[in-house]
A and B are shown apart, each in its own frame.
Chain A
Amino acid sequence: EADIYQTPRYLVIGTGKKITLECSQTMGHDKMYWYQQDPGMELHLIHYSYGVNSTEKGDLSSESTVSRIRTEHFPLTLESARPSHTSQYLCASSWDNYGYTFGSGTRLTVV
């Protein structure tokens, strides 16, 4: 079964460090998304991409940045991590207006 992969699964990092959360999909989906979810809270869209070299900010303001150089890869970067960035980050992909497929998420803790 085609899948979407996120690494790392868990990350504990010190304040001020630069981090990159990886997301890759093998389904050839053109659209990819990053959602942020605090414990027990709703998912909020922070970034999306409709194709290579296309990235947009989502509904929730985020200090993170993304890139889409290859169809299958959509990494998210935080230049200087802060405790307020502690959250779960979920990557998803879709084709046209069909269903979304989500990865397992990265749980980030900034200390």
Chain B
Amino acid sequence: KQEVTQIPAALSVPEGENLVLNCSFTDSAIYNLQWFRQDPGKGLTSLLLIQSSQREQTSGRLNASLDKSSGRSTLYIAASQPGDSATYLCAVLNDYKLSFGAGTTVTVRA
């Protein structure tokens, strides 16, 4: 059974600082890895999708890397802003089913 772990569970930084969120998974036979953002009481917004054959994906201030062999992914958010405050979820796809980590709750202080 796939297990996904996200560290740290919570993070508080001053505005402008870079964020580093970590994700690890136990079964490396994944099809892809997806990073989501969730605001309180809301649904999930997809941020980045990395296929198993890829090493990284970038979108604006966001960059995600994937090391499938070691079962790790890292999400970098450059020059954080208060609007980046949310919970960030890592999810890996095996056999069409997505397994989620518990998330990292980020607070960016103005």
CB-CB < 8 A to B46: which residues of A? 99-102
Decide if A97 touches B31 in the complex (CB within 8 Å).
yes
Q: Counting CB contacts under 8 A, is B97 at the interface? A: yes
The number of residue pairs between A and B whose CB atoms lie closer than 8 Å in the complex comes to: 52
The answer for the CA separation of A90 and B46 in the assembled complex, in Å, is 14
CB–CB B41/A43 < 8 A: no
How many residues of chain A get a CB closer than 8 Å to chain B's CBs?
25
Jot down 25 A-B pairs with beta carbons below 8 A, ordered by A. Answer: A6-B43, A33-B97, A33-B98, A42-B100, A42-B101, A42-B102, A43-B89, A43-B100, A45-B98, A48-B96, A48-B97, A50-B96, A59-B1, A88-B41, A90-B43, A92-B44, A97-B31, A97-B32, A97-B93, A98-B49, A99-B32, A101-B46, A102-B44, A103-B43, A105-B42
Interface residues of A (CB under 8 A from B): 6, 31, 33, 41-43, 45, 48, 50, 58-59, 88, 90, 92, 94, 97-105, 107
Known interface pairs A43-B89, A58-B97; 17 further A-B residue pairs with C-beta atoms within 8 A, sorted by A's residue number: A6-B43, A33-B98, A41-B102, A43-B100, A45-B98, A88-B41, A90-B43, A92-B98, A97-B31, A97-B32, A98-B49, A99-B32, A99-B49, A100-B34, A100-B46, A100-B93, A102-B43
